[in-house]
Amino acid sequence: MPYLKIPKGWDIPESHVTPESDYMNRRSFIKELGVVGAGALSLSLLSPDAFARPKNVEEQLAAFQDKPLAVEHNPQFTVERQMTDEVVAATYNNFYEFSSGKKNLWKLMEDFETRPWQLEIGGLVHKPMTLDVDDLLRQMPLEERVYRFRCVETWAMVVPWIGFPLKALLEKVQPTSDAKYVEMLTFWNADVAPQQRNSRLPWPYVEGLTLAEAMNELTLLTVGIYGHILPPQHGAPIRLIVPWKYGFKSIKSIVRMTLTNKQPRTFWHTLSPREYGFESNVNPTVPHPRWSQATEWMIGTRERHPTQLYNGYGDAVAHLYE
């Protein structure tokens, strides 16, 4: 593995994670198959659009589970808390382009086509590129990481993402010395995402990181979850995961990244600057103007825990803010 071994507060034996039983069964199945290099992925593994319309979320997920992405779990990224159940995570989503509701988003997204999909990277870079997402899946060093995820609304989950460090892609495009930020943009198509007709919201959804945050080893460009490619409600076909920041920074269904020297005007910050700062690191001592951030609750079990500074990832990221 090309990843640095760093001492981390969350580094505990994998046996301490109590994952969903189905998920473990699937994982051992993947192990039996042997680890398939990203280059060996066949397109038939990657075409959920061919699936018939599911009757319920279990049926939707089964179609993804039948086509596992065989990648190795990175044991450096494991969490002491119980893994969130896959059905729970797939029915408690935020994706405002489709609805402000959470539970039935998967159902509202049946006409959302996530393949083929192009990702464009440009701005202050030496080598701008437009990449097909499936080509990216074949080329990049995919791995599985279990991360804590904390929404600004105080709910939290622990899920296994599949992806590669954003850093690996930025190294390909070679940011110029003027580049200070990475701006990221979600698709804009009101024909499939009806809330994008609401002109009071500043579409398209934009998020951003400083270049140093984007280059941090924890910042993951994510293409899969629970052993398979992302279902639409989790931000297919490619999204960001920044585990030490509130969940709204983890932008879904990205179409463009632009390296820039100006702080991006992000969606939530534009709507309510006092409530959603650009930085938005998880911090129990900084309340949201309308609620406390001192504790969080796990979706599914509703267990409550004290919120941790940087969501527990301080060892890897605190130096960015000194």
Cβ proximity to ligand MTE, 31 vs 304, nearer residue = 304
Give min distance, CB of 96 to ligand MTE, in A.
4
The dihedrals phi and psi of 319, each to the nearest 5 degrees, come to -60, -20
In terms of DSSP H, where are the helices of the chain? 21-33, 57-65, 86-89, 105-108, 133-139, 166-173, 211-214, 267-271, 314-317
Q: How far is the CB of 62 from ligand MTE (least distance, A)?
A: 19
CB nearer to ligand MTE: pick between 234 and 269: 234
HSE, CB side, 13 Å, CA atoms: give it for residue 167: 11
Contact 214, 206 (CB under 8 A): no
**Least spacing, CB of residue 31 vs ligand MTE, in Å:** 26
Of 155, 164, 156, 10, give the one whose Cα is nearest residue 83.
156
Q: Are strands 181-186 and 155-165 parallel, antiparallel or unpaired?
A: unpaired
| Nearer of residues 89 and 131 to ligand MTE, judged by Cβ | 89
Considering only CA atoms, give the Rg of the chain.
Answer: 19
Angle at 281 between CA 85 and CA 290, to 5 degrees: 85
Give residues in contact with ligand MTE (CB under 6 A).
93-97, 151, 186, 205, 234-235, 247-248, 250-253
Residue 87 Cβ, how far from ligand MTE at the closest point, in Å?
Answer: 13
C-beta closer to ligand MTE: residue 10 or 96: 96
- 77 vs 205, which CB is nearer to ligand MTE? 205
Closest separation in Å from C-beta 243 to ligand MTE: 12
Residue nearest to ligand MTE (CB): 247
